[in-house]
Amino acid sequence: MKTKLIQQEIKYEGWQLSPHWIYKNFKIQGDAAVAFIGECDVKLTEMVDIEDVINNEPIYSKLMLSFISEQFNIGLVEGVFRQRLLVCIIKEALEKRGFLVRRNGDDLFVDDKKLTVSIATKSVNSILIHTGINIDSNGAPIKACGLKNDLGICDIEGFANEILERYSEEIDDIILASTKVRGV
């Protein structure tokens, strides 16, 4: 899997979770994951999570570290597994830094404050995943925490690169592991 930390600030509004967004904007073809920093403001009209729409819960973060991944030739259930793997890698990276992190499905919490948002969906030809981690929790519509203002993690780019690298290695290793066994 190819990865890239995007240096330009990008406001995530939900419409970026679309087929070939990574390829069209960053010329990375195939299975890929990118990370970027920017405001997150997803209106109900752009929401993929129907439950959030029904509950009238738009997403907002003053500053968020976003990961978008597009992966081909897999189904939605496997895509959700891969989404949860990404969330678990983020949880492990935070725990390695000494934080007590609780995972509930695809959400992470610190001190019962929500740290992340995440969704996996199916496009006509791929699986798309967005996972966002609050950097600055001020102004969030729910009880939230952020990497910088609550947890004191200041090297956001280093943290992002660590997650991208570990996620890519894990996906590649899973695929490689599937090639070393004989069928029974």
Give the DSSP per-residue string, 100-117. Answer: --EEETTEEEETTEE-EE
Considering the domain boundaries, does residue 30 fall inside one? yes
Domain span at residue 108 reads 2-177
Stretches in the chain below the pLDDT threshold 50: none
Task: Say what the pLDDT of residue 129 is.
Answer: 98
Considering the domain boundaries, does residue 38 fall inside one? yes
Q: How many domains does the chain contain in total? A: 1
Phi and psi angles of residue 111, each rounded to the nearest 5 degrees, phi first: 55, 40
Task: Say what the pLDDT of residue 162 is.
Answer: 98
**Residue 34, CA distances (Å) to 7, 114, 123 in order:** 10, 22, 18
Task: Say what the pLDDT of residue 139 is.
Answer: 87
Considering the domain boundaries, does residue 91 fall inside one? yes
CATH number at residue 70: 3.30.930.10
Biggest distance spanned by C-alpha atoms of the chain: 55
Report the distance separating Cα 64 and Cα 151, nearest Å: 14
User: Which helix (H) or strand (E) covers residue 71, if one does?
Assistant: strand 59-71
Considering the domain boundaries, does residue 182 fall inside one? no
Considering the domain boundaries, does residue 170 fall inside one? yes
Phi and psi angles of residue 79, each rounded to the nearest 5 degrees, phi first: -60, -40
Considering the domain boundaries, does residue 184 fall inside one? no
Task: Say what the pLDDT of residue 120 is.
Answer: 98
| pTM given for the model | 0.96
Considering the domain boundaries, does residue 126 fall inside one? yes
Write the pLDDT tens digit of every residue in 40-92: 999 999 999 999 899 998 899 999 999 999 999 999 999 999 999 999 999 99
Task: Say what the pLDDT of residue 65 is.
Answer: 98
64: its two tokens: 């968020």
Amino acid at the residue 101: V
